[in-house]
Amino acid sequence: MAPVRGDGMRGLAVFISDIRNCKSKEAEVKRINKELANIRSKFKGDKTLDGYQKKKYVCKLLFIFLLGHDIDFGHMEAVNLLSSNKYSEKQIGYLFISVLVNTNSDLIRLIIQSIKNDLQSRNPVHVNLALQCIANIGSRDMAESFSNEIPKLLVSGDTMDVVKQSAALCLLRLFRSSPDIIPGGEWTSRIIHLLNDQHMGVVTAATSLIDALVKRNPDEYKGCVNLAVSRLSRIVTASYTDLQDYTYYFVPAPWLSVKLLRLLQNYNPVTEEPGVRARLNETLETILNKAQEPPKSKKVQHSNAKNAVLFEAINLIIHSDSEPNLLVRACNQLGQFLSNRETNLRYLALESMCHLATSEFSHEEVKKHQEVVILSMKMEKDVSVRQMAVDLLYAMCDRANAEEIVQEMLNYLETADYSIREEMVLKVAILAEKYATDYTWYVDVILNLIRIAGDYVSEEVWYRVIQIVINREEVQGYAAKTVFEALQAPACHENMVKVGGYILGEFGNLIAGDSRSAPLVQFKLLHSKYHLCSPMTRALLLSTYIKFINLFPEIRTNIQEVFRQHSNLRSADAELQQRASEYLQLSIVASTDVLATVLEEMPSFPERESSILTVLKKKKPGRVPENEIRESKSPAPTSVVQNNTHVNHNKLNSNANADLLGLSTPPSNNVNNTNNTLIDVLGDIYGNNNAAVYNTKKFLFKNNGVLFENEMLQIGVKSEFRQNLGRLGLFYGNKTQVALSNFNPVLQWSAEDALKLNVQMKAVEPTLEAGAQIQQLLTAECIEDYADAPTIEISFRYNGTQQKFSIKLPLSVNKFFEPTEMNAESFFARWKNLSGEQQRSQKVFKAQQPLDLPGARNKLMGFGMQLLDNVDPNPDNMVCAGIIHTQTQQVGCLLRLEPNKQAQMFRLTIRASKETVTREICDLLSDQF
């Protein structure tokens, strides 16, 4: 600890020196115990200790605490130091209290009184020390005790600037733990007007506070936009000499500029006022212009500060997505950074261009940099930059450049880092399917993927190629020929064998006319791979062989011999034995007609959303570009859908920016189904069903499915949650032959409940056409725990009759759980700590159906908590752990479900750090088993 001038605390320096000179842990403990005994005797016996001595001994206690030893005395002496008028003594007192005093301490009232005295002091140093102590402790008690004093200090005209800065940051710290500390009404305007303060330090601190307030209540603080734009404009247009005290390496107030730009990104659109918008655009243009100017210094600090402001300005331009000129200029500026020597700049440029590629205004400009991005993917030394180049190629891909980009990614895949191969495989598969104008090209791409990176080709990829080949007759023969040729390679990946087995089993007859791919040749080629494959692939090949008997009766005896070999003990796998035995008997007993019926060609799969996209979004949450999501169904080749594509093109693009979850409305070729069958985005096909289907409780354990269905309307839901934020896509499908007019979903959620769960709902078109499907996006923010869930009231006119009904949304509090892993020791230690009456809730109830323990386990796994195996001594008992994320706090929660098989009953126990959470979780689950 640096000595204060004229007050060196020599005794402290000697003690620290002694500790450093100790040769062993035992010597150190002995010296510390000796010092603790000395300090204790001084505090107890010597009533004449002056401030200097108290300070010295308190400093020693602090040092001992920092070494990892417990301190159980000295607190009162530290509190006494707070009343000193000397800065050094008061500082040490506050430091000790901030570090060592528990908020439940008996001394807290004395401390609060001392802090209040200092807050009323005319000495700004004392006031700042008090504010720093409040912020360091940051408890709810502190927030309640000083909820009046700190806001007054912040907006008072008499308060010195240095105190206002500390008051703003202290208030921000308390706001994060106690959001209700900030008063509303006229205080809102006074806090906002701090952006006009003459002192730049006050403005910087106030901007941080206002940014946090805006995130909680954007409408109340919308007045900050005009002032923020005005202040930003003045900073950007000022020279570095105008703001000399706040200029960092020739860049005026870079930290404040970045904070203001981030503040404006809380609103979209930023402003509706033409004058303010024009001034903001002018400011952003000025920032872009300054980026083109020669640097005023060669030092890295200058370029870092300048680029920090530039990138944040570009983020705001991307966020607004409404000014074509600015978007194009931003893209050109980022393009220059792609060749910069600085690795971080290249990475940031690629990342920002990923977002620009999703905008209709700048997509074409981004494509101009395609060659440079391809070079980055191949030549960059840093794997994270190569990864970002792959992301950008994926984002900029469209029908015009798809073949070139896919080919480049395939070429690079052979030498790509192992860490990014799996993601690259998924992206190539998605692009090939999405932009395939000729499905022979698609088949070639997927088979190349399997050849180059077979270990990284997931089941979803090869499942998908089989679905597409089966659904498209024009490509079946080509697929059979291509996969037959691929299987002839000496080294053939198992995934290729799977695809080959399936396709040849269905369509091998289409190439059997060529002597080079005669039936027996196909069979021998597949069977040559049999012994190298896993049991699952062998089972698939046995199914292919029985299909061959139907397609090629002339090789029946060859195949039956294989079945005989694997139907006895030669095959160690029981599944293969049984399969071979049954197929052998089927080939012997069944007539030709029966075989043809049993083994007929697979029917077409229903068109549904590609599961590959879902896998990619799980691997890279938040990183799948939005333009990817606009057409998530497998598209038909251009020649087939050319007549229909233009019908809903504008409608599709208008919703693309709001489509953040991959919840796209199906493309127009699905809407105009010839049989008017509604194809649900979740992959289910429903026939006519006149009975209403509605069960919100099932969504306690899943996020996707059909929420409601009757003879007129089907409502599907698809949702995702991350910490305290959630997004839902509602899909309204019109099952009738007439349009539903005045279609209006309205959220039913009280203002009081909205303070706990803030739900925002996008508007939808008032007309739902016959056989059509539209989507509505909802966002939810959990501010604190709550009970029940919001409701939407849906009204519309059908054949002139008004229809209205209410549906509860699947937004129960368990959606904000984060699973938590625990071992048995940690679980029961936490369980024991949560034994208070208000921390637990228990219910004993009869099983709803015959006791189903596997079903109960599956439900608990879908509930959001972590199901902990091998924790409870009773193997039938189920225990879970999780944390509910809210904006204000995190609530730990433990669950124990104990079945009684004889009585057909369950006992459910919930323990959590908050009473309302225990009750709500217990109520949600008590009727679900």
Instruction: Give the C-alpha separation, 447 to 98, whole Å.
Output: 64
The verdict on 314 and 370 lying in the same domain is no
The pLDDT assigned to 655 comes to: 34
Instruction: Determine whether the annotation assigns residue 11 to a binding site.
Output: yes
Instruction: Determine whether the annotation assigns residue 10 to a binding site.
Output: yes
Instruction: Give the pair of three-digit tokens for residue 519.
Output: 């039936």
Q: Domain for residue 106, yes or no?
A: no
Peptide linkage before 745 cis (omega within 30 of 0): no
Instruction: Determine whether the annotation assigns residue 224 to a binding site.
Output: no
Query: What's the pLDDT tens digit per position in 833-889?
Result: 887 888 888 888 888 777 888 888 888 888 888 899 888 888 889 999 999 988 888
Instruction: Determine whether the annotation assigns residue 58 to a binding site.
Output: yes
SS3 annotation, 603-622: CCCCCCECHHHHHHHHHCCC
Q: pLDDT category, 663, cuts 50, 70, 90? A: very low
The verdict on 762 and 822 lying in the same domain is no
CATH code for the domain in which residue 718 is found: 2.60.40.1230
The answer to whether the CB of 497 falls within 8 A of the CB of 487 is: yes
Pick the range with the lowest mean pLDDT from 197-206, 381-390, 514-523, 613-622. 613-622
Instruction: Give the C-alpha separation, 666 to 714, whole Å.
Output: 15
Instruction: Determine whether the annotation assigns residue 693 to a binding site.
Output: no
End residue of a domain, out of 811, 828, 858: 811
pLDDT over 60 at 801, yes or no: yes
pLDDT over 70 at 690, yes or no: no
The pLDDT assigned to 64 comes to: 92
Q: pLDDT category, 682, cuts 50, 70, 90? A: very low
Distances (CA, A) of 515 to 481, 520, 548: 13, 10, 16
End residue of a domain, out of 372, 396, 420: 396
pLDDT over 60 at 90, yes or no: yes
Distances (CA, A) of 361 to 335, 358, 393, 664, 791: 16, 9, 17, 21, 38
The verdict on 873 and 754 lying in the same domain is no
The verdict on 207 and 314 lying in the same domain is yes
The pLDDT assigned to 634 comes to: 36
What mean pLDDT, rounded, does the chain reach?
Answer: 83
Query: What's the pLDDT tens digit per position in 875-926?
Result: 889 999 999 988 888 888 999 999 988 888 899 999 998 888 998 899 888 8
Q: Domain for residue 226, yes or no?
A: yes
The verdict on 332 and 343 lying in the same domain is yes
Query: What's the pLDDT tens digit per position in 170-222?
Result: 999 999 888 888 877 778 889 999 999 888 999 999 999 999 999 988 888 99
CATH code for the domain in which residue 915 is found: 3.30.310.10
Instruction: Give the C-alpha separation, 329 to 313, whole Å.
Output: 12
Query: What's the pLDDT tens digit per position in 317-364?
Result: 999 888 889 999 999 999 999 988 899 999 999 999 999 998 888 889
Query: What's the pLDDT tens digit per position in 692-722?
Result: 445 667 788 888 888 888 888 888 888 888 8
Domain containing 355: what range? 323-396
Q: Domain for residue 751, yes or no?
A: yes
CATH code for the domain in which residue 354 is found: 1.25.10
Radius of gyration of the chain measured on its C-alpha atoms: 34
Query: What's the pLDDT tens digit per position in 248-291?
Result: 888 999 999 999 999 999 998 888 899 999 999 999 999 999 98
Q: Domain for residue 284, yes or no?
A: yes
The verdict on 758 and 858 lying in the same domain is no
Q: Domain for residue 430, yes or no?
A: no
Instruction: Give the C-alpha separation, 555 to 328, whole Å.
Output: 65
Higher pLDDT, 257 or 631: 257
3-state secondary structure of 506: helix
Instruction: Determine whether the annotation assigns residue 60 to a binding site.
Output: yes
Q: How many domains does the chain have?
A: 4
Q: pLDDT category, 617, cuts 50, 70, 90? A: low
Instruction: Determine whether the annotation assigns residue 583 to a binding site.
Output: no
The verdict on 774 and 849 lying in the same domain is no
Q: Domain for residue 648, yes or no?
A: no
Look up the pTM and report it: 0.62
The pLDDT assigned to 632 comes to: 32
The verdict on 730 and 845 lying in the same domain is no
The pLDDT assigned to 637 comes to: 37
Higher pLDDT, 47 or 165: 165
Cβ atoms within 10 Å of 48's Cβ, excluding its own? 5
The pLDDT assigned to 101 comes to: 78
Q: Domain for residue 382, yes or no?
A: yes
Q: Domain for residue 828, yes or no?
A: yes
The verdict on 715 and 806 lying in the same domain is yes
Instruction: Give the C-alpha separation, 136 to 94, whole Å.
Output: 10
The verdict on 796 and 820 lying in the same domain is no
**Which H/E stretch holds residue 779?**
strand 773-782
DSSP letters for 177-199: H-GGGS--THHHHHHHGGGG-S-
End residue of a domain, out of 793, 811, 829: 811
Pick the range with the lowest mean pLDDT from 466-470, 614-618, 750-754. 614-618
Q: What is the mean pLDDT of residues 511-532?
A: 90
The verdict on 712 and 773 lying in the same domain is yes
The answer to whether the CB of 88 falls within 8 A of the CB of 66 is: no
The verdict on 776 and 834 lying in the same domain is no
pLDDT over 60 at 684, yes or no: no
pLDDT over 80 at 127, yes or no: yes
